[in-house]
Structure 1
């Protein structure tokens, strides 16, 4: 009788169309800083997975599905890497097409003027574990102009899977390091 549940699990798992992706190698600074960032329980829905490409975009393209709270990096051979993200709150959401114009490790944060007007307590800060941009940032441009939106890490990993940002796409720090290592400047980003 015990073989029936085991066979049922094997059949169900055999139909799964995803595979875990190992963590990237971290520098000593990454390890030290990330140890100081608050930890959150990981929700498997928002983990880093190798999946069949649901986007149908060209390899190398980053696609953010805001309703699903998922980011895909399209790979060759019909595959994609899937990452969980935090997206823009309804009032601040952004959709469109952009290009990765710059990449930075543990970037400094310079909140835009409209954010400072909304939240006077925010201020510019150097990169580090308290910085809201987290471990890495991909700066997005549209038509050669900075959109002021970023794909970046976070110091609030508990918000992955939510609509809680001011329009930027936030990722777990380990995931943004993985994406940063895989994506060159000039990559296309589509936010739907």
Structure 2
């Protein structure tokens, strides 16, 4: 009897708990919109990725730039690239280009001169250094201008490297602006080498004006390019004959 009473009492005590749970599941709670809206937005599906469009002040649609995670967006460079105007090509000085005809070369030379003789062909602006076997080394030269050309036979009386220049009195009378003395060097009119002809004032020498080779421009001397007169200088000896035609 006592055991039945305790079982009935336990059933009575547990009944409100089960009924409360059932009623709690069935009761609906209504929240105001300002409280519920932030939570509802989080439950909506994410928007598909796309391009957002802003309207520029001019009324033209401008696509928004999409930031890349972990990297700063670089400023956009203008599509048009400023191009610098090309530098003007240097213009060659008129009349200052050497005719390739006057470059040194080995030629056939069947004349009755002993090897080692220098022959100056004044009309054609060539210097020949006679070799054996009917050949000669030919160089282009500048010769005396009209009124200053000459012909004859001389011997090389001296050889000098980077010679000083002392203009003769006759030249100073014509050109009083010339210096009375000029030390040897690249600006010296006698150039890198000089071979003196006898006791005269004439020389075979280099020049600081190589574009004059092939022309009649001197006061009677035979001028050559510096590189050519240095080559000739090493090939001839003091006492060699020089024939000027």
Deviation larger for 51-60 or 163-172:
51-60
| Corresponding residue for residue 104 of structure 2 | 48
Contact residue 55 and residue 63 of structure 1 kept, 8 A:
no
Find out whether 1:58 has 2:110 as its counterpart: no
| Corresponding residue for residue 148 of structure 1 | 201
| Corresponding residue for residue 129 of structure 1 | 186
Q: Following TM superposition, by how much is the alpha carbon of 1:117 offset from its aligned partner in structure 2, in angstroms?
A: 0.4
| Corresponding residue for residue 106 of structure 1 | 162
Alpha carbons of structure 1 residues 139 and 105: separation in structure 2 relative to 1, 3 Å: same
Q: What secondary structure does 1:148 align onto? A: coil
In the TM superposition, structure 1's runs of 4+ consecutive aligned residues that sit over 2 Å from their partners are: none
TM-score (norm 1): 0.76
Q: Following TM superposition, by how much is the alpha carbon of 1:55 offset from its aligned partner in structure 2, in angstroms?
A: 3.6
Q: What secondary structure does 2:227 align onto? A: helix
Look at both structures and tell me which one has the larger radius of gyration over its CA atoms. 2
Alpha carbons of structure 1 residues 155 and 55: separation in structure 2 relative to 1, 3 Å: farther
More strand by share: 1
| Corresponding residue for residue 137 of structure 2 | 81
| Corresponding residue for residue 234 of structure 2 | 181
Q: Following TM superposition, by how much is the alpha carbon of 1:51 offset from its aligned partner in structure 2, in angstroms?
A: 0.6
Q: What secondary structure does 2:107 align onto? A: strand
Alpha carbons of structure 1 residues 159 and 138: separation in structure 2 relative to 1, 3 Å: same
| Corresponding residue for residue 83 of structure 2 | none
Structure 1 gap ranges (5+): 1-39
Contact residue 111 and residue 134 of structure 2 kept, 8 A:
no
Tell me the number of residue pairs that the alignment of Structure 1 and Structure 2 aligns.
Answer: 149
Out of 168, 172, 195, the position equivalent to 1:138 is 195
1:64-89 deviation per Cα after TM superposition (whole angstroms, max 9, x unaligned): 00000000000111110000000000
1:70-119 deviation per Cα after TM superposition (whole angstroms, max 9, x unaligned): 00000111110000000000111121100000000000001110000010
TM-score (norm 2): 0.60
Higher relative contact order (CA 8 A, sep 6+): 1
